[in-house]
Each structure stands twice: as C-alpha cells, then as structure tokens.
Amino acid sequence: MSNIPPIIHKTRTQLVVEALRERILSGDIQGGEPLRQSAIAEQLNVSRIPVREALVQLEAEGLINFEPHKGATATLLSVEQVTELFELRAMIESDLLAKAIPNLSDKDLVEAEAVLVQLELAFKLKESVASWSELNTRFHTRLYQAANRPHTMEVVNGLNTNCDRYIRLQLLFTGGIPIAEREHRVLLELCKNRDIEKATTLLREHILHASASITKLVEQKIKS
C-alpha cells in the first residue's frame, strides 16, 4: 500500500492557474493578449473569484501583467528578458552544480538518469510538448538538490517558470532537441565522474547556447 501515491485535492484556483499557465506557455494565448475574467470563468465553468486569484498568482510567476485600463494581459516575448533570465540561470545553476557534485549519491545519479530517460522519450512525441520543460527542470533539479541550498533552489524554480515558454519555443522551432539530448547525457557523465570544472563549464554553455537560439527566434517573432 505504501507505493500508492496520495490523492491531491486541487482548489478551483489551482486548476485555473494550471489551465491558463499551460495556454500561455504553449502559445495558445499570445503575448499581449488580454485575459478577460468573465470569459475565462465561463470557459472553465468557475466563478470569477478563482480566476482573479489565479491571475494574481500568474502575475507573480511573470506570465501576465496587470496594465491600467487594459487589465490582465499575457506577457510579451522580450529579448531583454531572455538575456537577463538565462544569464542569471547560467550563474546560479553552475554554482549550484559545483556545490552539489561532491555530495551526489549513487541514488541521486540513478534518479537523475531515470528522469532523463523520460525526457528523451517525451522529446520523440509532439503530444508530450507540455511535459518537456517540467522533465527538463526535474532532471537539472535532481542534480542540484545535493548542494543543500533550498533558498537558491527557490530562486532557480522561479527563473525556470519564467523561462518555460522560451525553452519550449527553442526546442520546437530551433532544432534544439538533439543538442539538448547530447548535452544532458554528457553532463550526467561528468557528474558521475565528479568533474566539477568540465560539468559547470558545459552547463553554463548549455544555458547560454539556449539563450542565443531563443534570442534569434524572439527577434524573428517580434519582427513578423
């Protein structure tokens, strides 16, 4: 019985947050598009209260803005935001990995590889696009947790939430999947070998390469 996962009861607000987050990250709701509370409530068959609460949470995640006279709108794609977010990730995550590698247990590495296998399988299925960023984050997180820096992990989680839609755009439209698969595998091997210098250098390059690809893509989308 111990292997049965607990039943998680989600509030209406949580359900609305997840539904809207998925639509924004997938591009179904475009940047700059207004989010009308009454229309969302009707579509999701809920009252306006959980919709209002969900919009506040999504604003905290950086996925929507509240603008005077316009209300809530989906956040626009921004080259400046991509640069800032990914430079922060490169700095913070490489430092986390350096602190984590000496503490990585065999169990940590086995679990990280298990997540990586799931991610590689998901990459082969276009209908699994929604799971790509989550599995990517889980893989990296599994390696970082051994650093025992919970507050830093909170910062990384916030950055990943804001990077989510950009990462999906990169993987879908820039041919980033083969590169990501190769670099993830090499990164895991370097962690197994406890090679801190090469692992952190690769991780930094992995993140900044993604940033460069996304920047080109965002520039194209802004011009089109």
Domain locations along the chain: 10-72, 77-221
Report the alpha-carbon distance of residue 41 to residue 34 in Å, rounded: 14
Q: What angle do CA 156, 159, 161 make, to 5 degrees?
A: 110
CATH number for 10-72 (one of 3.40.50.970, 1.10.10.10, 1.10.8.50, 2.40.30.10): it is 1.10.10.10
| CB-facing half-sphere around the CA of 12: CA atoms within 13 A | 12
Please give the model's pTM, rounded to 2 decimal places: 0.76
| pLDDT recorded at residue 108 | 97
Report the alpha-carbon distance of residue 112 to residue 60 in Å, rounded: 29
Q: What does the pLDDT look like over 146-179, one tens digit per residue?
A: 999 999 999 999 999 888 888 887 887 778 899 9
SS3 label, residue 157 = helix
SS3 label, residue 34 = strand
Beta bridge partners, 74, equal 64
Instruction: Report phi then psi at 209, rounded to 5.
Output: -65, -45
Report the alpha-carbon distance of residue 185 to residue 37 in Å, rounded: 44
| pLDDT recorded at residue 219 | 82
Report the alpha-carbon distance of residue 188 to residue 209 in Å, rounded: 18
| pLDDT recorded at residue 100 | 98
| pLDDT recorded at residue 221 | 67
Helices 79-100, 129-144: axis angle to 10 degrees equals: 40
Report the alpha-carbon distance of residue 223 to residue 108 in Å, rounded: 44
Helices 129-144, 176-192: axis angle to 10 degrees equals: 20
Domain 77-221: give its CATH superfamily: GntR ligand-binding domain-like (1.20.120.530)
Alpha helices in the chain (DSSP H): 12-26, 37-44, 48-60, 79-100, 106-123, 129-144, 150-173, 176-192, 196-223
| pLDDT recorded at residue 224 | 59
Instruction: Report phi then psi at 168, rounded to 5.
Output: -60, -40
| pLDDT recorded at residue 9 | 57
Mean residue pLDDT across the chain: 89
Query: What is the mean pLDDT, run by run of 10 residues, along the chain of 224 residues?
Result: 50 91 83 92 94 90 82 88 96 98 97 96 81 90 97 95 84 85 97 98 96 88 64
